[in-house]
Structure 1
Amino acid sequence: MSNEREIQDQDLMDVAQDEEQAHRLRKALKTLSDNPNVGGKLQEMAREVLSGRIGMKDAIETPRYMDALGDRMNEIRRAAENQTQAEREASREQFAAWQKKEDEKEDKERAERDGPSGNIVTAPRRSGRGGGHRG
């Protein structure tokens, strides 16, 4: 995909409720697209949406993509049901650590995206002497 155009957050505003949700959706699509463990129709869908070849709304309405998502969700549910109590606790701890790291990364990205630029050039301040208009 490196030679292709990649959509931006605002390209997902037709399905997102706000800019933050659009950003998270694009990030999730990127994760699906880049993760070799995803494979199949889900990875194809993510790549198609990210490249702009198909809109997210159209992807949601495409039965083969939604079937693939449903199949993956069932796999996840079955795996969770088969975990021991110790495995569940370890998974919760791993998830909590991952979530904390992701939240910190999101906060940093949001600050960079929404905050003032460090490269703003401003005019020098006027001193009280000699620079004003006189009437």
Structure 2
Amino acid sequence: MSIERNEREVTDDDLMEDAKDPVQAARLHKSLRTLRDNPNVPPQLQQMAREVLSGRLSMTDVAKGGTYLDALGDSMMKIKRAAENMTPEEAERNREAAERYRREQEEAEAREQAERDAPSQPQPDTPRPRSRRGRI
């Protein structure tokens, strides 16, 4: 589910209240969009992500407690239990997959940062075609 058409989505800058630097704010923003849009995420966490992305709630508010913090805790416990029940082979495959994913994410973030840091390319001055009106 995506954000309502008439609803503004916060920017990375808006998330700086909850982040310690611009890179962390960008990661938080991306994570919130993933939570909001992933159909496998519990509905309460999707709702939390929508609330934060709309600016109606901050991550600081979430961390202070309540339903959303409980939903985060429940999800973390499920992940922990699943990890504890893995065979050594499954755990190794998961570690390898997580490492690949981490590298891919770092590469993607580096590309995004390079795009943000790249000086804007000035457009070459090209003469405009002259109007032929009034000419014979």
TM class, shorter-chain normalised?
0.7 to 0.9
Does structure 1 residue 102 correspond to structure 2 residue 105? yes
How high is the TM-score relative to the length of structure 2?
0.83
Cα pair 2:18 2:58 within 8 Å, conserved? no
CA distance in 2, matches of 1:77, 1:39: 16
Q: Partner of 2:122 in structure 1?
A: 120
RMSD over aligned Cα atoms: 1.6
Task: Could you tell me which runs of 5 or more consecutive residues in structure 1 were left unpaired when the two chains were aligned.
Answer: 124-135
* Corresponding residue to 2:21 among 18, 21, 24: 18
After superposition, give the CA deviation of every residue in 1:9-63 in whole Å (9 maximum; x if it has no partner): 0111111111111111111111111111002211110011111222222222241
One-letter code of the match for 2:93? Answer: A
Q: Partner of 1:40 in structure 2?
A: 43
How high is the TM-score relative to the length of structure 1?
0.83
Quote how far apart the aligned CAs of 1:121 are: 4.0
Q: Partner of 2:90 in structure 1?
A: 87
Cα pair 2:45 2:72 within 8 Å, conserved? yes
Quote how far apart the aligned CAs of 1:115 are: 1.9
Quote how far apart the aligned CAs of 1:106 are: 0.7
